[in-house]
Structure 1
């Protein structure tokens, strides 16, 4: 096991084989690394670009350890990899980022408590374990508010809005009557995100703030750099990212989703301890995009320059949007990225398009 910078030709293992793993493997190959992918689902998108892929359950600890022994460093592409799995990998290889980033971000209550402890503001929140505690949380926080499961849930899943007190029980049933968190509504003017990276030696570099537009709980579009951002606001975003990255002892790329409250400043919505959909614009608009940046950090290399050379509008291709690939491929303004998913399904992220313009 080595803790120094990895030389080209080394192997980086990726736990998870979706589109993020696919783009990580491709970025790693450009730096001379072989990517090995571990994923329970056969024929995953990342497996078809990786140097080698392994298909076994997350709880097959023997298979995880055998995979890790063949890798010089291990990373993960999404936050729902079981903590036990990454800890097993860490016993036989270098794990970057560490399991702490997963443990904290897999539970929304623990995550928001950590964020506040790092000196960063969030919306008001309260723990919910049953209908009685939900009603108490509503009394404390007020309405409207959103009820979210503490674990899992993404792209709008596992959450329900409560706008009137009479909606509480319906919302509780809608999320499956499981441990949850109630979050107060934020009076935000727009949704922003900062994608940053932290190196092995603790250096933090951030891409410019991006503005995000959601629909039905799914990211539709990212515009970057976000318009109207002054130096003080960008500086505050870097301070927030640095506090969170240092608090997690994170190595690699991570994203912080933010609410812009105007004169009241920025508050954190949530953290993603990985490369992120709102950072896809960096692939074409920056000299060093988020996927290369992450592989640099995992390898113990110096971080690349996150400064953009172009402005960008990133549009997700969701479900049947991807069927327009011929038109998109013929559009000289479109930088098309398709994820190699075999089946088109409603609400499924199939790819994205970056359109560049002058800064």
Structure 2
């Protein structure tokens, strides 16, 4: 049974739906609350971080028809906190008459690394050379095409360094293919980059866009460790990043906040590493470094509100707290320049993101 479309912009007192109940969902819910909106969270895990700060919590699989109907009955618009939401769930919400933002194209592109890089190249956003493979022989041929060494990644799933292997020469490609499960993969040429940057951008329902200052990012073991923002960057680099963001947002007919990871090459060119159709870890610095942070910006966009200002009001070093590092919360709380953000996860596991700190300095 289809229902009437939501009246936009969502007025204070309306309910916004979120697929996913982790830390990103929690910070989205907190931002929505500041704007007077209620939140309904659908998440398979009971008592998750987002559920405990939301007005409504539905515990069920993402593609559970009854749960999706319950979410639709509550929410005027639905968004998501991560890009691996089942496409079938979004399709069912659309059949019911609920709008999901960002839209299905953003999910389709971001859920498959080959589709993603093909889309980026087609829309004037350059990447490293790449090739797909669906068998050991194709993996070997792909190495010959893109050159060695190359990074082999599963086409779907995988995050924080999971689901990927470096392949140093063609004969090793078949073994790496098997180690990654024998499913479809993508081979990406090595990028001799100078540093990793990211840009957080937003697009409203009326097509208006806004971009945040660049962040410089440092990873350890495939996991983001810290971001420095605003990054020191030449105007030509900033211009490139903003052009890339504009092309991606327009090409996806996007609504909401998106994270775009970039490689800055030695000659100053920017290549896109990947996109994330959601609020992004490298944008956490905006919570204390900008007038309107990425979470409020996303809520504004999907709810049909005008976008807020994105200029920096402070310089920030964002550091992820992994595993037991969050046990140092009291020491961190004593640091006058440190803003502590803990996610409310019940169990600390090695490498698990339990929170982050923003160390704030004047511009």
TM-score (norm 1): 0.98
Alignment of 1:160 with 2:165, yes or no, is: yes
Cα distance between partner residues in 2 of 1:33 and 1:154:
31
- What 5-or-longer segments of structure 2 have no aligned partner? none
The 5-angstrom pairing of residues 75-90 of structure 1 reads: 75-90=79-94
- Cross-structure match for 2:247: 243
The 5-angstrom pairing of residues 146-185 of structure 1 reads: 146-185=151-190
- What 5-or-longer segments of structure 1 have no aligned partner? none
The 5-angstrom pairing of residues 116-135 of structure 1 reads: 116-135=121-140
SS in 1 for 2:267: helix
SS in 1 for 2:187: strand
SS in 2 for 1:195: strand
Deviations 1:171-221 (A, max 9, x none): 112211110000000110000000000000111111011000001000000
Cα distance between partner residues in 2 of 1:200 and 1:142:
42
Cα distance between partner residues in 1 of 2:224 and 2:303:
30
The 5-angstrom pairing of residues 61-100 of structure 1 reads: 61-91=65-95, 92-100=97-105
> CA shift at 1:262, angstroms?
3.1
Instruction: Out of 132-141 and 145-154, give the one that drifted further.
Output: 132-141
Native 8 Å contact 1:69 1:93 kept in 2: no
> CA shift at 1:94, angstroms?
2.1
Cα distance between partner residues in 2 of 1:306 and 1:287:
7
Cα distance between partner residues in 1 of 2:20 and 2:164:
24
> CA shift at 1:232, angstroms?
2.3
- Cross-structure match for 1:140: 145
- Cross-structure match for 2:306: 302
Cα distance between partner residues in 2 of 1:76 and 1:40:
14
Alignment of 1:223 with 2:234, yes or no, is: no
Cα distance between partner residues in 1 of 2:308 and 2:299:
10
Alignment of 1:341 with 2:340, yes or no, is: no
Cα distance between partner residues in 2 of 1:214 and 1:50:
32
Cα distance between partner residues in 2 of 1:292 and 1:277:
15
> CA shift at 1:164, angstroms?
2.7
Alignment of 1:189 with 2:161, yes or no, is: no
Cα distance between partner residues in 2 of 1:123 and 1:175:
21
Cα distance between partner residues in 1 of 2:210 and 2:270:
19
Cα distance between partner residues in 1 of 2:63 and 2:303:
26
Alignment of 1:33 with 2:52, yes or no, is: no
Deviations 1:325-354 (A, max 9, x none): 111112111100000000000111000000
Kindly report the root-mean-square deviation, in angstroms, between the aligned alpha carbons of the 2 structures. Answer: 1.0
- Cross-structure match for 1:211: 216
Alignment of 1:200 with 2:190, yes or no, is: no
Report the count of equivalent residues. Answer: 358
Cα distance between partner residues in 1 of 2:177 and 2:100:
37
> CA shift at 1:264, angstroms?
4.4
SS in 1 for 2:132: strand
Instruction: Out of 43-52 and 159-168, give the one that drifted further.
Output: 159-168
> CA shift at 1:321, angstroms?
1.0
TM-score (norm 2): 0.97
> CA shift at 1:3, angstroms?
4.6
- Cross-structure match for 2:326: 322
